[in-house]
Amino acid sequence: MGKRISRASSDTVWLAVLLMPALLLPVALILMPALCTFVNGCMQDVTFMPRRWAGLANYARLVQDPALFHSLRFTLLFIAVSVPLELACGLLLALLMQVQSPLRGMLRALVLIPWAIPAAIAGRVWELIYSYNWGPANYLVKLTGAPAVNWLGSSTGAFLAIVIADLWKTVPFVAIILLAGLSAIPEHLYRQAEVDGASFIRRFVAITLPLLRPVMIVAILFRTIDALRIFDLIYILTSGGPGGATSSLSLLGYTYFVGGDFGYGSAISTLIFLIALLVALLVVRIGRFGSSMR
Amino acid sequence: MNRYVPEFLLMFICAVAGIIAAGCSKKEASVVFAVGGAPAEIDFWEKTIQRFEEQSGIPVELLRQPTDTDQRRQNLVTALRASRSTPDLFLMDVAWIAQFAASEWLEPLAPFLEGSPLSINVFFEPVIRTAATYNGTLLALPVYVDAGLLYYRKDLLEKYGFAKPPELWDELVAMAHTIIRGESQEGNELTGFVWQGAQYEGLVCTFLEFAGSNGGGITIADSLPIVATDRNRSALAFMHGLVHSEKISPVNTGTDMKEEEVRFSFQKGAALFERNWPYAYSLHQADDSPVKGKTGIAVLPRFVGGTSAATLGGWHIGLSRFSRQKERAFALIAYLLSYEVQKASALEAGWNPGRTDIYGDSTIMERLPHLVTLHDVFSHAVSRPNVPWYSYLSSVLQRWLNAALTGTVPVDEALNKCEKELRVIVERYSTRKQH
């Protein structure tokens, strides 16, 4: 009896030892920085003021900051508009890439280009496209005889311009992930359905969508968290303008880091982290709920 | 396998020791000087540094920074916050000196000046007083100064019988309308007045000029409004009107117009008036420029009852408090601000020296006669608020000024909301609560 216990406990020790590297990595790379950022958010950490403990003062300030409220609203709206669009376009593109045709290989390679271009460069390219005087977008508008449009000049215009640039950049990523999911669906399911007389739409709704669900969850998760942190594209395209209409949370946090208030900047970062965590838990929960229903 | 372990260990130790030794010897040997990004700027520094090395025997290493002003600051903030001993010297935009000063990153320069041939009296007095000094301590010296200027098309003004550039903003508007109408009858499309209106620091600078020339500005005092005053309101309404009612400034003023967009527009001959920093002058007058010989400069116009205002810009040199070789680093400062180097910077790099005596130099007067106008402009320059938390004021201002300018929020509402947010910033960071 005693022997069995000691064996079991030595197994546990071994288990712990073997798991250690895998556990240490997330602790060192994710948990520690997040905790440090949270603690730093509890400091009055301003380069030009004495450093001292400030408790939750920075977090209390978050609640009253109209600029933060504005940025939060913009960021959430951006997620709500861009992620579903990315998913829809990505799915369409993935289905296209799966069609057997001589161009398939080329299409798959070409699609990846926008994803491979650094966001900062993509931002510059789109800045040129939207340029009032020299941009191809206005060139096309002028061809129809209409007056040039100042694309980034209104809140709605700038918002849509960023969504479109972001779509161009990230749809390929979603498409590639979904394509992997599509390839994993056994071919015989479709053939059986075909024998049973199921139409294309019926096959798509009854086989493709449900089996693609886990992969879609992954894509939604990645994209939502990425969209939550959006910075580079906006920094270059509008720097948050016009009139702060496109100031994302990350952009706001950045201004505080540059200006020397690391405490408040950390508080904003912690907020972004918490929202990301919440979104991740929510998406994963909804995903599981769906699969257990079947 | 195990046989090789000692060898690997030895190699590793040697490599680490080598890296540390290389790092140490380098730090001891050269003065590290961080400068900004445009290629022409770097070329000038490299040449100058080489001459200094030959004369003094002190090796200098140039640390090249990005061109973007915010990124340059972020770069320095990271190093200084970590109390790094390098860079020893760096260039600072006037707008950040107070932040660096209050963070205690800058070495006071007065003690070094005492034993040096360099005198504080050669520099522009308002620049030293309002920008280089913080709480009565001299912490920086101007390498080159900038201030907003009016550029105008001499040829077009003459063609329509205007003998002088406009002195009042209303005159500018009237001239623009006359000339645009006349030119469009001849089939030439022309924009009246281009200036910096995008949501960035440049917008705060232009606002200070419009507001300042109307007797307004930014006030940081307990009982007074910071920006929500009648004078500022009418100045901002005028700015909005230039784009939306007078329509002499382009529709994309509030979105695209930064220094270079403004300069391109004027330089290709598409604009009648331009507000820009002095750097644009030599580019407008370059051989390949369509407006070569047609460009005039003047102080910016004013409103009736106001006086012309030009926002002070430019770059100062600072000595890091964490430097381990301050004496040698200051020797480089003294060299860079010497008469010869400052004169060369005007002639070779097109900069406006921080020293006033250069403006009376015979070669300069002959080759760069426009510097005489600039000398007047710099003597009347207005500073941005000299507070460590200026960048937070600025980011709030940028947002609301741009909202008013683009018309997403009415002028009155924008200034009132701006005032409220600024008040929060002032209360959070103002010095009374610091110690």
Residues B142, B271 within the same domain? no
Q: Is it the case that residue B89 has pLDDT exceeding 50? A: yes
Burial of B73 (0-12, 13-18, 19+ CB in 10 A): buried
Nearest to A67 among B99, B421, B434 (CB): B421
Contact A130, B255 (CB under 8 A): no
β-sheet bridge partners, residue B142: B316
What residue of B is the nearest CA neighbor of A130? B256
List CB contacts (< 8 A) between B190 and chain A. Answer: none
Q: Tell me the pLDDT tens digit for each residue of A43-81.
A: 999 988 888 999 999 999 999 888 899 999 999 999 999
Mean of all residue pLDDT scores within chain A = 89
Q: Tell me the pLDDT tens digit for each residue of A117-172.
A: 998 899 999 999 998 888 899 999 999 988 888 899 889 999 999 999 999 999 99
Over residues A98-109, the mean pLDDT reads 85
**Min CA distance, B249 vs chain A (Å)?**
13
List CB contacts (< 8 A) between A152 and chain B. Answer: 252, 255-256
Contact A132, A157 (CB under 8 A): no
Q: Is pLDDT larger for residue A220 or for residue B22?
A: A220
Nearest to B251 among A132, A243, A256 (CB): A132
CB-defined contacts A:B, below 8 A: 118
Residues B248, B366 within the same domain? no
Q: Tell me the pLDDT tens digit for each residue of A261-283.
A: 999 999 999 999 999 999 989 88
Q: Where residue B433 falls among pLDDT bands split at 50, 70, 90?
A: very low
**Min CA distance, B423 vs chain A (Å)?**
12
Residues B216, B334 within the same domain? no
Q: Is it the case that residue A37 has pLDDT exceeding 50? A: yes
Mutating which of B201, B247, B256 best tests the A interface, going by the most A Cβ atoms within 10 A?
A: B256
Mean of all residue pLDDT scores within chain B = 90
* A242 vs B: CB within 8 A: yes
Residues B328, B344 within the same domain? yes
Nearest to B391 among A153, A154, A258 (CB): A258
Which of B19-33, B118-132, B261-275, B343-357 is predicted least confidently? B19-33
Task: Tell me how many degrees the CA angle B299-B305-B310 measures, rounded to the nearest 5.
Answer: 30
Q: Where residue B26 falls among pLDDT bands split at 50, 70, 90?
A: very low
Residues B129, B172 within the same domain? no
In angstroms, the CA A258 to CA A265 distance is 9
Share of chain B above pLDDT 90, in %: 72
CATH number for the domain harbouring residue B191: 3.40.190.10
CB pair distance less than 8 Å for B99 and A245: no
Q: Specify the pLDDT at position B430.
A: 82
**Min CA distance, B194 vs chain A (Å)?**
13
- Cα(first)–Cα(last) distance of chain B, in Å? 62
Nearest to B408 among A64, A154, A239 (CB): A154
**Min CA distance, A250 vs chain B (Å)?**
14
Please state, as a whole number, how many other Cβ atoms lie within 10 Å of the Cβ of residue A120.
12
Nearest to A152 among B70, B255, B389 (CB): B255
Domain that holds residue B287: 149-311+385-433
Residues B415, B369 within the same domain? no
Q: Where residue B8 falls among pLDDT bands split at 50, 70, 90?
A: low
Mutating which of B75, B99, B320, B399 best tests the A interface, going by the most A Cβ atoms within 10 A?
A: B399
In angstroms, the CA B193 to CA B273 distance is 5
Residues B96, B215 within the same domain? no
Half-sphere exposure of A185 (CA within 13 A, CB side): 22
Q: Is it the case that residue A1 has pLDDT exceeding 60? A: no
Q: Is it the case that residue B15 has pLDDT exceeding 90? A: no
Residues B198, B340 within the same domain? no
Q: How far is CA A277 from the centre of its chain?
A: 13
Place of tokens 């710099």: B378
Residues B317, B283 within the same domain? no
Share of chain A above pLDDT 90, in %: 53
Q: Is it the case that residue B16 has pLDDT exceeding 80? A: no
Q: Specify the pLDDT at position B20.
A: 57
Residues B105, B163 within the same domain? no
Task: Tell me how many degrees the CA angle A71-A74-A79 measures, rounded to the nearest 5.
Answer: 125
Please state, as a whole number, how many other Cβ atoms lie within 10 Å of the Cβ of residue B352.
28
Q: Tell how strand B295-298 and strand B310-319 pair up.
A: unpaired
List CB contacts (< 8 A) between B254 and chain A. Answer: 153, 241-243
Q: Tell me the pLDDT tens digit for each residue of B162-205.
A: 999 999 999 999 999 999 999 999 999 999 999 999 999 999 99
Residues B123, B175 within the same domain? no
Residues B296, B159 within the same domain? yes
Contact B98, B386 (CB under 8 A): yes
Q: Is pLDDT larger for residue B15 or for residue B425?
A: B425
Q: Specify the pLDDT at position B382.
A: 87
Nearest to B399 among A155, A244, A261 (CB): A244
* A98 vs B: CB within 8 A: no
Q: Is it the case that residue A4 has pLDDT exceeding 60? A: no
Over residues A108-114, the mean pLDDT reads 88
For chain B, the domain total comes to 2
CB pair distance less than 8 Å for B254 and A242: yes
Q: Is it the case that residue B411 has pLDDT exceeding 60? A: yes
